[in-house]
Structure 1
């Protein structure tokens, strides 16, 4: 996500416009964007069951997992997989 700030001294001096880069546009359709990060980035030792349930219903789950793998996301649930599951997937796909 890219934030663009209006120049100071304009009517919009305190306004922030948010622009989504094309490669991240899929995130707008993600169910997690409508749910909140708490499920997807739980405290260590907490359950990821609810995050995985939501991911299982998400229409862009594959794009999310691909993004996480391409960008070496090390924390949270992405595309329905936990950190450990993504690490195992990396190891087996080499």
Structure 2
């Protein structure tokens, strides 16, 4: 899947985007459950990491979780 073509296969396609901008942990769990069943979870997460998305759930990860991934990658590089 090149460029953003992965978005066509996303489980979240057509869902209310507000789901992915939660205001509580319970709401985050709802978004993550959609991501967990998604065939393009990895490209979505990589997109968010490479574009430094600060808000929302991307690829099943919150902003805090994505920051942790970035730190871990820097340490192992």
Band the TM-score falls in, shorter-chain normalisation: 0.7 to 0.9
Q: Which of 16, 25, 33 is equivalent to 1:36?
A: 16
Gaps of 5+ in 2: none
Specify the alignment match of 1:82 in structure 2.
62
Say which structure is richer in strand: 1
Cα deviation for residue 28 of structure 1 reads 1.4
Q: Whole-Å Cα distance in 2 between the matches of residues 61 and 92 of structure 1?
A: 19
Q: Which of 62, 87, 90 is equivalent to 2:42?
A: 62
TM (norm. structure 1) is 0.70
Runs of 4 or more off by more than 2 Å in structure 1?
none
Q: CA RMSD in A?
A: 1.4
TM (norm. structure 2) is 0.84
- Higher RCO by CA contacts (8 Å cutoff, separation 6 or greater): 2
Deviation track 1:22-49 (CA, whole Å, cap 9, x = no partner) reads 5111111111112221110123x45300
Q: Whole-Å Cα distance in 1 between the matches of residues 6 and 68 of structure 2?
A: 25
